[in-house]
Amino acid sequence: MRSGLLSLLLLFAAIKPGTTSAAPSQPNIVFFLIDDLGYADCGFNGGTEIATPNIDKLATNGAVLEHHYVQPVCSPTRAALMTGRYATRTGVYTIVRPHSKWGLPLEERTLANALSAAGYTTAITGKWHLGEFDKAYLPTSRGFQHQHGHYFGALDYFTHVRDGSHDWHHDDQEFKEEGYSTHLITREAIRLIQSRPKDKPLFLYMPYNAVHSPLQVPDKYLEPYGALKGPRKQLAGMLSCLDEAIGQVVDALEKSGLRDNTLIVFSSDNGGPPPGTNMPLRDFKGSIFEGGVRGCAFANWPGKIPAGQRIKEPMHVIDWYPTLVKLAGGTLDQKLPIDGKDVWPMITAKAPSPHESILSVQSPTQAALRMGDWKLIQASNEPLDDEDAPKKGAKGKKKGKGGKYEPFMLFNLATDPGEKTNLIAQDPERAATMKAKLAEWLKDAVSSGVKN
């Protein structure tokens, strides 16, 4: 009996991270990525006009990440999350438009690949936005075992059509399903939670298309917002519907007995465009000012992440790749270098940011670098390439405030979070140090992967 027990213990000890055997300690992971959410639209980040009780409860009972950096627009943030690598390595600097002959490069290992190898059931419900012109670029070819939702951005929430193309799929096959997309994405997530294999942990990636335009929502969600007008009222209804949906997902986790062993991460994919608000940050989506690249974010895991925190240490969405893979017992051994850092000690034990510097990049010539409380912007004022870019004469759309970039700008974010005062002339020594560091980051930047 003793020898048999010893053999069993040795067998378990021999199982290495990255194999398909799932240890009981592996957390379930639910990652909510919210499209075009403003930094200050939710209550937990100062919003007062829109009710977000379910989101706020998760944030309050977890760690609010006040300096969580993302990319200026959506596809680059998704690529960074999936790979742990900056756009300067993947070439995903801008939006992958419908039917474009490119996407996240096929040599990239994704977060879903890594977690699947670690024994997880991996699923995406929501917007992919990393390439769909060829089967090799679809979610089920990139590590996801289940897929439900859409590939493009800016689709109609009710008809699921974008520019004449129907865009709704299940396991990467076209799928006809009636209903409002936020409701459908949520319903599928709940089904996956309830029907998951009981012997495997779950990675559920939920990149909602809410609250991205077109601003559409069932009328019942508008009723509490009679005092608001126009696009802001529509946004309020959409965010209220999203908040309800997130509450339903959390309720499904609780009823399935998964909540105590589930890490929930919540982030916007870029700064919000009007009618969202990013106050007190400067500018909007599509910008490398803080209003474009600082995401509204938090992390929650009962008993593992201390509640009531507001963490000011900077991090980037690339950090979730190594952090989650390590928590899952997976391996980070791979051919391509990882830019992200493990931020778990920062979130759970008040450790400092693991970054000496953090990069925000629109292109190889237009980028920003954060070091400590300081931020340097190098700009060429390239035109904004964005599916939400205001068209001449379009109604209900406003250009972001903040004006054009100067060639170089230096800000102290501790004293000037709104980036109002350019200190480039007052602190030339610091500027020179940061310029050199930024040049080091950009010297091997790959060109854009865009192909029509």
The DSSP code sequence of 176-238 is ---S-HHHHHHHHHHHHHHHS-TTS-EEEEEEE-TTSSS----GGGTGGGTTS-HHHHHHHHH
Mean pLDDT in order along the chain per 10 residues (452 residues): 40 38 73 98 97 98 98 98 98 96 98 98 98 98 98 97 96 97 98 96 98 98 96 98 98 98 98 97 96 98 97 98 98 97 98 98 95 95 55 38 77 97 97 97 93 75
74 has catalytic annotation: yes
Q: Which residues of 5-18 are buried (b: 16+ CB within 10 A; e: fewer)?
A: eeeeeeeeeeeebb
DSSP letter (8 states) at residue 139: G
User: What integer pLDDT is reported at residue 386 of this predicted model?
Assistant: 57
User: What integer pLDDT is reported at residue 355 of this predicted model?
Assistant: 98
Say which residues have a Cβ less than 8 Å from residue 195's Cβ, sequence separation at least 6.
none
Catalytically annotated residue among 42, 67, 68, 74: 74
Catalytically annotated residue among 129, 146, 169, 316: 129
User: What integer pLDDT is reported at residue 14 of this predicted model?
Assistant: 38
Tokens of 320: 């979730």
User: What integer pLDDT is reported at residue 395 of this predicted model?
Assistant: 38
CB-count burial class (<10 Å; 0-12, 13-18, 19+) for 175: middle
Tokens of 85: 């690598």
User: What integer pLDDT is reported at residue 385 of this predicted model?
Assistant: 57
Q: At what angle do helices 320-327 and 74-83 cross, to 10 degrees?
A: 40
Say which residues have a Cβ less than 8 Å from residue 383's Cβ, sequence separation at least 6.
none
In the chain, the domains with their CATH numbers are 26-355 (3.40.720.10), 359-442 (3.30.1120.10)
Nearest of 115, 86, 84, 91 to residue 105 by alpha carbon: 91
CB atoms within 10 A of CB 376: 23
Amino acid at 105: P
183 has catalytic annotation: no
